[in-house]
């Protein structure tokens, strides 16, 4: 994959993006083993992976679902979908 | 042309003895099933048979022997790590390497070169001093050297890197070596085979059968095998195996690329690594410059190689060795690296009884081939982790006892 066809800023070379990694949701109120699993464990196996990408020139963050076997972006995800509330 | 080769070419039938005879049909039961016929898998089989007398062993390989990361690494062997756990482990490996050719009665082209890790910044120099002290404490030849020493040993290198990032010093590790990686896998495989181990190439494991929390066998594309002990030694394919068991791990797969130049006359008798420039290079016994860089930036389960890699690598390489601009890149390839958060492997027992892991070999697996085979064989035979691999157990992540080896990775990642 050399170009991201971004729905917001159009097609951009992949070299403009930083790879941040898998999208994860913290377990909030949980015991230590659950926290350790959240902090360290990853999906690992090939398949669809939701991941954060950072576009350096515009300073904007994106979440994309990518097929990690074929290296193809399957869809862009609305940030609302991955948003969660931090408990007060 | 050698006389023997000419005679061989003119003969109508070629009945040279095979290095590995054709595989027999799978048996219905083995004491131990090793998934993965690379260096680690073969070494484990070899030491199981040689040191523990366990010979009812099958090595299952989906491709061919040594066709995965064993045949894709840049063959460097060193033990100048950062943590005491890592130093002890890799030094045991280096010592085993030195005797392998005798063990196998096979030339593994083990060649001690001396290994320079260049430092271009004050902070890199600080890490080098730290590593040198840890290394020396464990009796390993490792020292910080200055520019004059490097200029004498590597006279063809531009120590100023064209003025952009001058070399300040280096960590010098005299025992650093290269070896022929294929021969290491073949030597272990032949040794294991001669002691009764069965090697089944083109045999893919499709699932692992369990009863409760206990392994009872493996399902393959050639039929079911019952067994009590299964060890996964598949590096970049590890998550595919662990997901068969629903076992979560911190392993992520990133491609690691490498390339070789056209062969030239031997001129370079050292190994040069620059963490800051993300490159490493040595000259193979065939004269090719063997070059590598850091892993690709994003997760990918593929061995594709890219132009970006060669472009980025050669840009840095030419800063160090300007004359290399006239050389051509001959071949490039990639392997799938199973990277862990602390840059240390994951070895030993797992929460599933009878399932053992030898994984998380990222970019540092080849040098550990002998010691991982030896310690995993011990672990399988005794059903408890060998003391050298106890720090690398999977449960270190839930115990918050990480090993922190990132500072000694050959290049920054």
Query: Are the beta carbons of A41 and B250 separated by less than 8 Å?
Result: yes
B233-261 exposure pattern, b = at least 16 Cβ within 10 A, e = fewer: bbbbbbbbbbbbbebbbbbbbbbbbbbbb
Query: Are the beta carbons of B300 and A45 separated by less than 8 Å?
Result: no
Question: Average per-residue pLDDT in chain A?
Answer: 92
pLDDT at B410: 67
- Asked if pLDDT for residue B409 goes beyond 80, the answer is no
Q: Give the model's confidence band at B412: pLDDT under 50 very low, under 70 low, under 90 confident, else very high.
A: low
> How much is the average pLDDT of B230-251?
97
Query: Are the beta carbons of B243 and A44 separated by less than 8 Å?
Result: yes
Q: In B324-367, where does DSSP find H-type helix? A: none
Chain A hits for B301, CB-CB cut-off 8 Å, are 46, 68-69
User: For residues A7 and A51, which has the higher predicted lDDT (pLDDT)?
Assistant: A51
Query: Are the beta carbons of A69 and B239 separated by less than 8 Å?
Result: no
Q: Give the model's confidence band at B244: pLDDT under 50 very low, under 70 low, under 90 confident, else very high.
A: very high
Closest among B169, B147, B176 to B81, alpha carbons compared: B176
A31 touches chain B (CB under 8 A): no
> How much is the average pLDDT of A32-44?
95
> How much is the average pLDDT of B276-304?
94
B325 touches chain A (CB under 8 A): no
Domain ranges of chain A: 3-24+45-80
In total, chain B counts a number of residues equal to: 413
- Asked if pLDDT for residue B250 goes beyond 90, the answer is yes
Q: Give the model's confidence band at B149: pLDDT under 50 very low, under 70 low, under 90 confident, else very high.
A: very high
CA angle B100–B106–B366, rounded 5-degree value: 50
Q: From the centroid of its chain, how far is CA B97?
A: 12
Query: Are the beta carbons of B398 and A69 separated by less than 8 Å?
Result: no
Q: What confidence tens digit (pLDDT) does each residue in B167-189 have?
A: 999 999 999 999 999 999 999 99
pLDDT at B1: 61
The C-alpha R_g of chain B, in whole angstroms, comes to 22
Phi then psi for B12, rounded to 5 degrees? -85, -30
pLDDT-above-90 percentage for chain B = 90
Nearest CA in chain B to A19: B298
A45 touches chain B (CB under 8 A): yes
CA distance B273 to B281: 6
Q: What confidence tens digit (pLDDT) does each residue in B19-64 have?
A: 887 778 999 999 999 999 999 999 999 999 999 999 999 999 999 9
pLDDT at B374: 98
Chain B hits for A31, CB-CB cut-off 8 Å, are none
CATH code, B26-72+182-250+342-408:
3.50.50.60
In chain B, list all ranges with CATH 3.50.50.60: 26-72+182-250+342-408
Q: What confidence tens digit (pLDDT) does each residue in B193-225 have?
A: 999 999 999 999 999 999 999 999 999 999 999
Q: Domain A3-24+45-80 class?
A: alpha beta
Contact residues, B window 57-86, toward A, CB-based 8 Å cutoff: none
Query: Are the beta carbons of A44 and B398 separated by less than 8 Å?
Result: no
Chain B hits for A69, CB-CB cut-off 8 Å, are 301-302
CA distance B271 to B263: 16
Q: In B206-338, where does DSSP find H-type helix? A: 238-244, 307-320
Q: Give the model's confidence band at A87: pLDDT under 50 very low, under 70 low, under 90 confident, else very high.
A: confident
- Asked if pLDDT for residue B14 goes beyond 80, the answer is no
pLDDT at B321: 96
pLDDT at A49: 97
- Asked if pLDDT for residue A1 goes beyond 80, the answer is no
B398 touches chain A (CB under 8 A): yes
B301 touches chain A (CB under 8 A): yes
Chain B hits for A70, CB-CB cut-off 8 Å, are 302
Query: Are the beta carbons of B243 and A51 separated by less than 8 Å?
Result: no
B393: tokens are 């157990």
Q: How far is B141 from chain A (nearest CA, A)?
A: 34
B251 touches chain A (CB under 8 A): yes
Are B184 and B194 within 8 A, CB to CB? no
Chain B hits for A42, CB-CB cut-off 8 Å, are 249-252
pLDDT at B3: 82
Total CB pairs under 8 A between chain A and B: 59
A40 touches chain B (CB under 8 A): yes
For residue B300, give the nearest of A21, A42, A71 by CB distance: A71
- ipTM (interface predicted TM): 0.95
CA distance B69 to B334: 9
For residue A69, give the nearest of B302, B341, B398 by CB distance: B302
pLDDT at B395: 96
Q: How far is B112 from chain A (nearest CA, A)?
A: 36
Predicted TM-score (pTM) above 0.90? yes
> How much is the average pLDDT of B132-149?
97
Q: Give the model's confidence band at B411: pLDDT under 50 very low, under 70 low, under 90 confident, else very high.
A: low
Pick the CATH number of B111-177+252-339 from 3.30.9.10, 3.30.930.10, 1.20.950.20, 3.40.50.620: 3.30.9.10
pLDDT at B154: 96
B404 touches chain A (CB under 8 A): no
> How much is the average pLDDT of B280-306?
95
Nearest CA in chain B to A50: B299
Query: Are the beta carbons of A18 and B300 separated by less than 8 Å?
Result: no
Which residues, listed in sequence order, are joined to residue A42 by a DSSP beta bridge? B249
Q: What confidence tens digit (pLDDT) does each residue in B84-135 have?
A: 999 999 999 999 999 999 999 999 999 999 999 999 999 999 999 999 999 9
pLDDT-above-70 percentage for chain B = 99
Are B37 and B59 within 8 A, CB to CB? yes
Query: Are the beta carbons of B400 and A36 separated by less than 8 Å?
Result: yes
Q: What confidence tens digit (pLDDT) does each residue in B318-359 have?
A: 999 999 999 999 999 999 999 999 999 999 999 999 999 999
């Amino acid at each position: 994959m050399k170009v991201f066809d971004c729905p917001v800023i159009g097609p951009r070379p992949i070299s403009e993006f930083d790879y941040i990694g898998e999208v994860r949701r913290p377990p909030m109120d949980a015991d230590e083993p659950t926290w350790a699993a959240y902090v360290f464990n990853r999906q690992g196996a090939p398949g669809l992976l939701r991941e954060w990408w950072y576009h350096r020139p515009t300073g904007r963050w994106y979440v994309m679902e990518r097929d990690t076997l074929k290296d193809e972006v399957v869809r862009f995800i609305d940030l609302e979908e991955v948003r969660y509330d931090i408990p007060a | 042309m050698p006389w023997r080769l000419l005679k061989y070419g003119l003969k109508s039938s070629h009945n040279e003895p095979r290095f590995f005879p054709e595989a027999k049909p799978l048996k219905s039961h083995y004491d131990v099933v090793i998934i993965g016929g690379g260096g680690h898998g073969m070494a484990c089989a070899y030491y199981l048979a040689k040191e523990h007398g366990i010979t009812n062993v099958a090595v299952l390989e989906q491709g061919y022997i040594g066709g995965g990361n064993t045949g894709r690494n840049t063959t460097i062997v060193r033990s100048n790590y950062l943590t005491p756990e890592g130093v002890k482990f890799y030094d045991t490996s280096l010592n085993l390497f030195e005797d392998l050719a005798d063990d196998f009665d096979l030339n593994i082209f083990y060649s001690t070169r001396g290994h320079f890790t260049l430092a271009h910044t004050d902070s890199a120099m600080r890490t080098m001093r730290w590593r040198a002290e840890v290394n020396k404490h464990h009796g390993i030849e490792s020292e910080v050297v200055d520019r004059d020493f490097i200029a004498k040993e590597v006279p063809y290198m531009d120590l100023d890197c064209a003025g952009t990032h001058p070399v300040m010093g280096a960590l010098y590790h005299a025992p650093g070596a290269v070896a022929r990686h294929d021969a290491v896998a073949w030597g272990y495989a032949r040794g294991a085979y001669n002691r009764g181990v069965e090697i089944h190439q083109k045999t893919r494991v499709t699932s692992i059968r369990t009863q409760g929390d206990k392994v009872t066998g493996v399902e393959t594309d050639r039929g079911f095998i019952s067994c009590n002990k299964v060890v996964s030694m598949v590096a970049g394919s590890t998550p595919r195996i662990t997901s068969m068991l629903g076992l979560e791990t911190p392993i992520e797969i990133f491609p690691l690329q490498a390339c070789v130049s056209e062969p030239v006359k031997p001129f370079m008798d050292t190994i040069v690594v620059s963490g800051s420039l993300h490159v490493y290079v040595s000259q193979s016994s065939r004269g090719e410059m063997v070059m590598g860089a850091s892993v690709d930036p994003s997760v990918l389960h593929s061995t594709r190689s890219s132009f970006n890699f060669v472009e980025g690598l050669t840009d840095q390489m030419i800063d160090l060795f300007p004359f290399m601009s006239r050389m051509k890149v001959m071949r490039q390839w990639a392997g799938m690296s199973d990277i862990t958060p602390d840059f240390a492997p994951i070895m030993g027992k797992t929460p599933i009884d009878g399932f053992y892991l030898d994984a998380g070999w990222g970019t540092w697996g080849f040098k550990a081939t002998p010691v991982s085979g030896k310690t995993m064989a011990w672990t399988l035979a005794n059903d408890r982790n060998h003391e050298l691999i106890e720090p690398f157990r999977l449960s270190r992540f839930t115990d918050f006892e990480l090993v922190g080896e990132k500072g000694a990775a050959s290049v920054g990642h």
